[in-house]
Chains A and B, each alone.
Chain A
Amino acid sequence: EDQVTQSPEALRLQEGESSSLNCSYTVSGLRGLFWYRQDPGKGPEFLFTLYSAGEEKEKERLKATLTKKESFLHITAPKPEDSATYLCAVQERGSQGNLIFGKGTKLSVKP
């Protein structure tokens, strides 16, 4: 059973069409939730860390939010350069810093 589930698997948007990506988790105690961006053939790039329900973080057109069971990555007025795979990962309380990753959402933004 997956502990971190991301949906949808793939999302195609027109430039300027806002949407949200979902990350749901079932770990018993959350130490932190992380969002990464990954371009094809490259390593993941760190975006945000969220620690507690109600927390929000923003960076340019991206805004991450956290509840007790899931996180959303909102993309406002996306541009083609936002096309990438977005990865969500959680860190359990009591772990040695290990991350549990979801399978990612592949976002394509067409001009």
Chain B
Amino acid sequence: DGGITQSPKYLFRKEGQNVTLSCEQNLNHDAMYWYRQDPGQGLRLIYYSQIVNDFQKGDIAEGYSVSREKKESFPLTVTSAQKNPTAFYLCASSNSYEQYFGPGTRLTVT
């Protein structure tokens, strides 16, 4: 089955801790993206990567970091510098125009 997996589905952390969200795809897509979704708001782009070992900041990159060491993987780290980290995080991949999304990780920071 080809697709995008995100783990874990739910994640709980204490304030001040860094946390890494996993995103893996077996679609052989070159581009990968991270979005954040908050109630009543559209999806907002955090980081994206068009190719291995290269990535760019999106609209709301502050307090986040990423790496792209393998084509299949694009992990997102939410650092303690992110002021409002509680949200639903979505990973996507694309090989042309359409982006295909994973199931999401709901992060709660208290």
Query: Which A residues form the contact surface with B (CB < 8 A)?
Result: 4, 31-32, 34, 36, 41-46, 49, 87, 89, 91, 96-104
Q: Which residues of B contact A99 (CB under 8 A)?
A: 43, 45, 99
Q: Is the CB of A49 within 8 A of B97?
A: yes
A97 and B43 contacting across the interface, CB-CB below 8 Å: no
A42 to chain B, nearest CB (A): 6
Any chain A CB within 8 A of the CB of B2? no
B20 interface residue per 8 A CB criterion:
no
What is the minimal beta-carbon distance from B26 to any residue of chain A, in angstroms? 16
Q: Which of B4, B42, B48, B106 has the most CB of A within 10 A?
A: B42
Find out whether the CB atom of A98 lies under 8 angstroms from the CB atom of B90.
Answer: no
- Inter-chain contact B97/A46, CB cutoff 8 Å: no
The reply to whether A46 and B100 contact each other, CB–CB distance below 8 Å, is yes
Most buried by B among A41, A44, A91: A44
* Partner of B48 from A4, A36, A42, A96 at Cβ < 8 Å: A96
- Cross-interface CB contact of A44 among B31, B50, B97, B101, cutoff 8 Å: B101
Q: In the complex, which residues of chain B have a beta carbon less than 8 angstroms from the beta carbon of A89?
A: 43
Q: Is B42 a contact of A102 with CB atoms below 8 Å? A: yes
Known contacts A41-B104, A42-B103, A43-B102; is-contact A98 B43 (Cβ 8 Å): no
CB <8 Å contact, A104 and B48: no
17 example contacts (A-B, Cβ-Cβ < 8 A) are as follows A4-B42, A42-B104, A43-B90, A43-B101, A43-B102, A44-B101, A49-B97, A89-B43, A91-B97, A96-B48, A97-B50, A97-B94, A98-B48, A99-B99, A100-B42, A103-B40, A103-B41
CB-CB under 8 A from A32, the residues of chain B are 97
Q: Which of B10-57 contact A (CB under 8 A)?
A: 31, 33, 40-45, 48, 50, 56
The reply to whether the CB of B98 lies closer than 8 angstroms to some CB of chain A is yes
Instruction: Name the A residues within 8 Å of B99 (CB-CB).
Output: 34, 46, 97, 99
Q: How far is the CA of A103 from the CA of B37 in the complex (A)?
A: 10
